[in-house]
């Protein structure tokens, strides 16, 4: 397959949609983003990457970070994580608090805001905030093959200032006894992990182990067990796009994770990873143009897992 032609063709396919959707407005840095931006990257088994459009433009990875922090938390606490967070789709907006009350402080799954806060808390464990953030950064630099991946501290600061929802969630979870660290420490790691700046190319490269049974096929590193990779993919398929996960599975049919910044990471088992980015969002907070691009890509390649 001519992969460069593929990413260029998908970019042309979505040309008419460029500028559609609404950019996130809860912090100035995201409110100022241009909905016309569009990037796509594909990473393959040998580590080769192909990009089109703004595939080398960094953006804050926001909730795409949940996938990587989940992988690291499972590495540290193993299946004990599931005592603190569930594995069922939420079917509610990303920062919903209602189910937390019903389920006594145990979030429905690790890919909602509340679930990601609990994962963050478990990832911190008995360590400090700095050490935890450093571990996540080192992981992403190694996997993403880019030594300069860093936190955009300006975004982290605005996330914190605008953080009423997340602050409410963290304190609510703590009230049920499901946080072992101080809510403000958990929030500090959370805002910083959401503010890590990466490009489509780096994200696609970083997630390659999820497409190849937990092993980075290009470097030969065993990142996690095959069953853990399979389970992370299952969660991405069922819960990776807030209350839009069913529609994404219906239209695209790949395990994926959307972010409020307009990124979507999509895993193509045994083939590679695709990452798209376009800041205009649909009603549920998934990149509108990004989802269309993945739909077209799957039509062109037959890469849906539901062949």
Nearest approach, Cβ of residue 68 and ligand GLN (Å): 13
Q: Which of 49, 122, 239, 259 binds ligand GLN (CB under 6 A)?
A: 259
281 binds ligand GLN (CB under 6 A): no
Classify residue 270 by burial, with Cβ atoms within 10 Å: 0-12, 13-18, 19+.
exposed
Q: Which of 81, 94, 187, 267 binds ligand GLN (CB under 6 A)?
A: 94
170 binds ligand GLN (CB under 6 A): no
187 binds ligand GLN (CB under 6 A): no
- Can you name the residues that pair with 263 across neighbouring β-strands? 277
Between 45 and 129, name the residue whose CB sits nearer to ligand GLN: 129
Classify residue 227 by burial, with Cβ atoms within 10 Å: 0-12, 13-18, 19+.
exposed
Q: Which of 37, 54, 152, 159 binds ligand GLN (CB under 6 A)?
A: 159
Nearest approach, Cβ of residue 186 and ligand GLN (Å): 12
62 binds ligand GLN (CB under 6 A): yes
Between 144 and 262, name the residue whose CB sits nearer to ligand GLN: 262
DSSP string, 69-116: HHHHHHHHHGGGGGGTS--S---S-TT--HHHHHTTT--S-TTSHHHH
Q: Which of 158, 166, 178, 245 binds ligand GLN (CB under 6 A)?
A: 166
Between 145 and 159, name the residue whose CB sits nearer to ligand GLN: 159
Between 24 and 224, name the residue whose CB sits nearer to ligand GLN: 24
Nearest approach, Cβ of residue 272 and ligand GLN (Å): 23
Nearest approach, Cβ of residue 237 and ligand GLN (Å): 17
CA dihedral 253, 48, 228, 284 (to 10 degrees): -40
50 annotated to bind ligand: no
Nearest approach, Cβ of residue 295 and ligand GLN (Å): 21
Nearest approach, Cβ of residue 166 and ligand GLN (Å): 5
Contact 116, 69 (CB under 8 A): yes
Q: Exposure pattern of 157-194 as b/e (b: 16+ CB <10 Å)?
A: ebbbebbebbeebbebbbeeebbebebebbbbbbbbbb
113 binds ligand GLN (CB under 6 A): yes
**127-156 positions binding ligand GLN, by CB under 6 A:** none
Q: Which of 260, 264, 267, 268 binds ligand GLN (CB under 6 A)?
A: 260
299 Cβ contact partners less than 8 Å away, ≥ 6 residues apart:
none
282 binds ligand GLN (CB under 6 A): no
How distant, in Å, are the alpha carbons of 21, 38, 203, 282 from that of 182?
37, 39, 30, 34
Q: Judged by CB under 6 A, how many residues of this single chain contact ligand GLN?
A: 9
243 binds ligand GLN (CB under 6 A): no
Q: How far is CA 23 from the centre of its chain?
A: 17
Q: How many CA atoms lie within 13 A of 18 on its CB side?
A: 14
Q: How many CA atoms lie within 13 A of 125 on its CB side?
A: 17
Annotated binding site: 63, 159, 166, 190, 242, 260
Residues that bind ligand GLN (CB under 6 A): 62-63, 94, 113, 159, 166, 194, 259-260
Binding annotation for substrate: 63, 159, 166, 190, 242, 260
């Amino acid at each position: 397959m001519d992969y460069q032609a593929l990413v260029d063709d998908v970019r042309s396919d979505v040309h008419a949609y460029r500028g559609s959707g609404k950019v996130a407005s809860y912090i100035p840095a995201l409110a100022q983003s241009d909905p016309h931006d569009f990037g796509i990257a594909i990473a393959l088994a040998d580590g080769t990457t192909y990009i089109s459009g703004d595939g080398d433009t960094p953006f804050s990875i926001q909730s795409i970070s949940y996938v990587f922090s989940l992988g690291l938390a499972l590495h540290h606490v193993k299946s004990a994580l599931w005592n603190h967070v569930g594995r069922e789709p939420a079917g509610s907006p990303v920062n919903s608090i209602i189910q937390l009350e019903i389920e006594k402080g145990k979030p429905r799954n690790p890919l909602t805001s509340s679930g990601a806060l609990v994962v963050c808390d478990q990832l911190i464990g008995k360590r400090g905030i700095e050490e935890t953030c450093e571990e996540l950064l080192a992981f992403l630099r190694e996997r993403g093959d880019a030594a300069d991946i860093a936190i955009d501290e300006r975004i982290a600061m605005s996330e914190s200032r605008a953080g009423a929802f997340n602050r409410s969630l963290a304190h609510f979870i703590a009230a049920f006894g499901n946080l072992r660290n101080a809510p403000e420490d958990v929030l500090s790691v959370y805002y910083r992990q959401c503010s890590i700046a990466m490009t489509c190319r780096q994200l696609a490269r970083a997630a390659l182990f999820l497409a190849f049974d937990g092993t980075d096929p290009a470097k030969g590193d065993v990142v996690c067990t095959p069953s853990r990779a399979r389970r992370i993919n299952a969660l991405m398929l069922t819960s990776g796009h807030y209350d839009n996960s069913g529609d994404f599975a219906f239209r695209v049919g790949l395990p994926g994770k959307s972010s409020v910044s307009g990124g979507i990471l999509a895993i193509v088992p045994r083939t590679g990873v695709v990452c798209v980015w376009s800041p205009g969002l649909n009603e549920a907070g998934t990149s509108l143009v990004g989802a269309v691009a993945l739909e077209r890509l799957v039509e062109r390649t037959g890469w849906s897992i539901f062949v």
